[in-house]
Amino acid sequence: MLEGYPGTLVRDALASYDAVAPDADHALCGAHLLRELNAASEFFAAHPEYLPPTGWDWAAQVAWALLDVKTACEKDPAGVCLPEVLARARRLIVSAGVIAQHEGLSPPGVVGRAHRALARRASGRVDDYLRFGTDPRVAFDNNGAERDLRMAKLRMKVSGGFRTWRGADRFARLRSYTATAAKNGVNPHDAIMRLFTYNPWTAAETT
């Protein structure tokens, strides 16, 4: 995001949706996963006939394991999860996802295909979903990325879009500069004042 180009800004902010950027360690949004898992559990609550005889809900197991890691991180002073808690959550997520992928254990039709795709993604990308448990710099969700995009989206809604590439480029550069400054504890107004007095703030000042 420090590069400031519109393409880079959009790519970085939306990476957790599309699982792109193969050149970096990737993190997927836990909040989005929880919403999908809760939807699956609500379906099972409304249609218990699709649950196994034991009443086991694979989506609820994945959600519980994910939240267990989140709680452990919030309690830890360093913001990371204990290895044993992380390993247990990983086992629960992978096992639930692998079992739920079997066609005979899921609802028929479109709902079943969606459930199997969700189970496949949860178990196959488990390390990306749990990355926040090992790296305190990684957030549980991508709300920060969405906030960074909000002003650009708002401008597009108000004006209908950017009239020129140069205007879009300058807007993205300025938003990238102020957003990065704010994340480093620098008042955006102060950062802009420094920019126009030929003394721009740089991230190196806070590293």
**The last residue of a domain, from among 79, 100, 133:** 133
- Pair (79, 38) in one structural domain: yes
**The last residue of a domain, from among 133, 157, 183:** 133
User: Whole domain around residue 51: which residue ranges?
Assistant: 30-133
- Pair (95, 173) in one structural domain: no
The CA-based dihedral angle spanning residues 89, 92, 97, 100, taken in that order and rounded to the nearest 10 degrees: -150
pLDDT, residue 34, reads 95
58 located within any domain? yes
C-beta of residue 148 within 8 angstroms of C-beta of residue 183: no
Q: How far apart are CA 61 and CA 34, in angstroms?
A: 11
- Pair (124, 158) in one structural domain: no
- Pair (173, 88) in one structural domain: no
**The last residue of a domain, from among 133, 158, 186:** 133
- Pair (167, 190) in one structural domain: yes
Residue 103 burial (C-beta neighbours within 10 Å; 0-12, 13-18, 19+) = exposed
181 located within any domain? yes
20 located within any domain? no
C-beta of residue 133 within 8 angstroms of C-beta of residue 24: no
- Pair (146, 125) in one structural domain: no
pLDDT, residue 13, reads 43
Which amino acid, one-letter code, is at 7? G
pLDDT, residue 123, reads 94
pLDDT, residue 57, reads 94
pLDDT, residue 22, reads 52
23 located within any domain? no
Report DSSP state, residue 22. Answer: T
44 located within any domain? yes
- Pair (74, 157) in one structural domain: no
Written as six digits, the tokens of 125 are 């990308």
- pLDDT tens for the 207 residues of the chain, in order: 333 334 444 444 444 444 444 556 678 899 999 999 999 999 999 999 998 888 899 999 999 999 999 999 999 888 888 899 999 999 999 999 999 998 777 888 999 999 999 999 999 999 999 999 988 888 888 777 667 777 777 777 777 777 788 887 888 888 888 888 888 888 888 888 888 888 888 877 765
18 located within any domain? no
- Pair (55, 109) in one structural domain: yes
Q: Residue 152, CB half-sphere, CA atoms under 13 Å: how many? A: 24
Residue 88 burial (C-beta neighbours within 10 Å; 0-12, 13-18, 19+) = middle
For the whole prediction, is pTM greater than 0.85? no
- Pair (183, 123) in one structural domain: no
- Pair (37, 118) in one structural domain: yes
Q: How many domains does the chain have?
A: 2
Which amino acid, one-letter code, is at 199? N
- Pair (179, 114) in one structural domain: no
- Pair (91, 176) in one structural domain: no
pLDDT, residue 46, reads 94
